[in-house]
Copies of this chain bind each other. A is one copy, B any other.
Amino acid sequence: MSLTVVGSMAFDALETPFGKTDKIVGGAASYISLAASYFVQPVNVVSVVGGDFDQDHIQLMHERHISTEGVQVKENEKSFFWSGRYFNDMNSRETLVTELNVLGDFDPVIPQSYQGCEFLMLGNLAPQVQKTVIERLHERPKLVVMDTMNFWMDIALDDLKETMALVDVLSINDEEARQLSGEYSLVKAAKKIVAMGPRFLIIKKGEHGALLFHGENVFFAPALPLEEVFDPTGAGDTFAGGFIGYLASTGDTSFENMKRAVIYGSAMASFCVEKFGTERLKNLTQQDIDSRVQKFVELVAFDTILQ
């Protein structure tokens, strides 16, 4: 089934305990669309870049059947740029530089060929822009998934709440869930957040896995214990891409299938962190993905003696 993704396409410069990069391609839509492309094709991207964006990356997207028809190119402007440094624990980071550039006045355009898409992934962006995308689709997609971050809770909480009320699945991390709900317990936080609109809530806990809440049901997916986390940038977006890509490929939005989708998302994220930027997402095989998913199966498998 058809999938549309909206989000940033950007340059990142990263510093981790393992090394540092020059400007490399990043941005939510880059990670989401690459991850999703292993499950469903084409993936339709809505974004905006400057004249400086990496043409080889655009080429790679096309090879992976990712449509960039909805990617505006502002030839005389610069792409969004973010630079950050990770601390030794790789769970915390500091922002060194943020240059909004073309993202500052992003007015998303939906090509006619994207209309009628059944799955919509709203990557992290100003909630007002995310809402505009929903409004500019003539038909409401079967499933709308929204990612966001604490930044918007700080400066655009009302907009965020308005957009949240329009989506089916919200994906945030544990600290953001606590900030948004004012509750420390994630179980209590989930109840308050689900009452704000989304029927499903994913709380990402980084190296500690992810929780999926729906009504009285809760599902937990671990993160794979890794020898080395090389670069965590984009792991959350890659998770989202694997998640919605799997859902779009199956067309099944039941809670049971969402659990599988969370596992596929977690598997894709576990690849992402093995190399800098989007590098590890460029040439995976189906066998790579299947054997990684199998590791998740084995990680939590036990035979219970209960009848």
Q: Which residues of A line the B interface, CB within 8 A?
A: 88-90, 184-188, 205, 208-209, 211, 218-222, 225-229, 256, 259-260, 263, 290, 293-294, 297, 299-306
Contacts and interface: CB of A to CB of B under 8 A. Distances in A.
A224 to B, nearest CB: 9
Copies in the complex: 2
A259 B303 CA distance: 8
A229 B185 contact: yes
Contacts of A227: 185, 187-188
Instruction: From A228, A297, A301, A304, name the one whose CB has the most chain B CB atoms within 10 angstroms.
Output: A304
A256 B184 contact: no
Nearest to A225: B187
Contacts of A229: 185
A225 B218 contact: yes
Contacts of A226: 185, 187
Given A225-B186, A227-B187, A260 B88 contact: no
17 contacts: A88-B184, A89-B184, A90-B184, A185-B227, A185-B229, A187-B225, A187-B226, A205-B208, A219-B300, A220-B299, A222-B222, A256-B302, A259-B302, A263-B304, A293-B304, A294-B304, A300-B300
A188 B221 CA distance: 22
Given A185-B227, A185-B229, A259-B302, 8 more contacts: A185-B228, A208-B208, A219-B299, A222-B300, A260-B302, A260-B305, A297-B304, A297-B306
Contact of A225 (B90, B211, B294, B299): B211
Contacts of A188: 227-228
B303 A256 contact: yes
A233 to B, nearest CB: 18
A299 B218 CA distance: 6
Contacts of A300: 219-222, 300
Contacts of A294: 304, 306
Contacts of A305: 260
A220 to B, nearest CB: 5
Nearest to A250: B305
A117 to B, nearest CB: 24
A185 B232 CA distance: 14
Contacts of A185: 226-229
A-B pairs, 7 with minimum CB distance:
A208-B208, A259-B302, A300-B300, A220-B222, A187-B227, A187-B225, A220-B299
